[in-house]
Amino acid sequence: MIRITCPFCGERDHSEFSYGGDATVAYPALDAPVEDWNAAVYERRNPRGPHKEYWHHLNGCRSWLVVERDTLTHEVGKVEFAHPGLRESVEGGA
């Protein structure tokens, strides 16, 4: 079982979360050329090793998180809120 330490709820089993895929994908401007949209929608680096990815704490606080995880060893590194405002108010506010 992979365990993810949610910055709000603490360490939880990954079965509480829903996987949201590659967190490095950046969507281009609406009028960007089709190649840019193709890259954002369809193309992934899919690395064997460190991967930055979204997880949704669906059966917990329901925040979206950015998790660093190794796709070969499943070791979990840094976890932070995906929403930068939330990151500041929860992590920096206290």
Partner 1 sequence: MSHYSVWSVLREGLRGQTGWDRAWRDPEPKPEYDVVIIGGGGHGLATAYYLAKNHGITNVAVVEKGWLGGGNTGRNTTIVRSNYALPVSTQFYEHSVQLWENLSHDLNYNVMFSQRGQLGLFHTPAARDGAAKRVNTMNACGIEASLLNRDQVIRMVPHLDYSENARFPIIGAVLQKRAGTARHDAVAWGFARGADQRGVDILQQTEVTGILREGGKAVGVETSRGTIRAKKVGVAVAGSTGHVMAMAGIERLPIESHKLQAFVSEPLKPLLDFVIGYGAPGAHFYISQSDKGGMVFGGDLDFYNSYAQRGNLPIVQDVAECAMAIMPCLGRVKLLRHWAGIMDMSMDGTHIMSKTPVDKLYMNAGWCYGGFKATPASGWHFADLIANDRPDELTAAFSLDRFERGYAIDEKGMGPTPKLH
- Residue 50 interacting entry, from partner 1, Zn ion, none, C-beta within 5 to 8 Å by type: none
Residue selected from 46, 85, 93, 94 as contacting partner 1 according to rule CB under 8 A: 46
Which of Zn ion, partner 1, none interacts with 53 (beta carbon under 5 to 8 A by kind)? partner 1
Distance separating alpha carbons of residues 55 and 80, to the nearest angstrom: 10
Q: How far is the CB of 85 from partner 1 (least distance, A)?
A: 26
Distance CA(59)–CA(36), nearest Å, equals: 34
Dist CA 32 CA 49 (whole Å): 31
Chain CA centroid to CA 64, Å: 7
Q: 26 is in the binding site of which of partner 1, Zn ion, none (Cβ under 5 to 8 A by kind)?
A: none
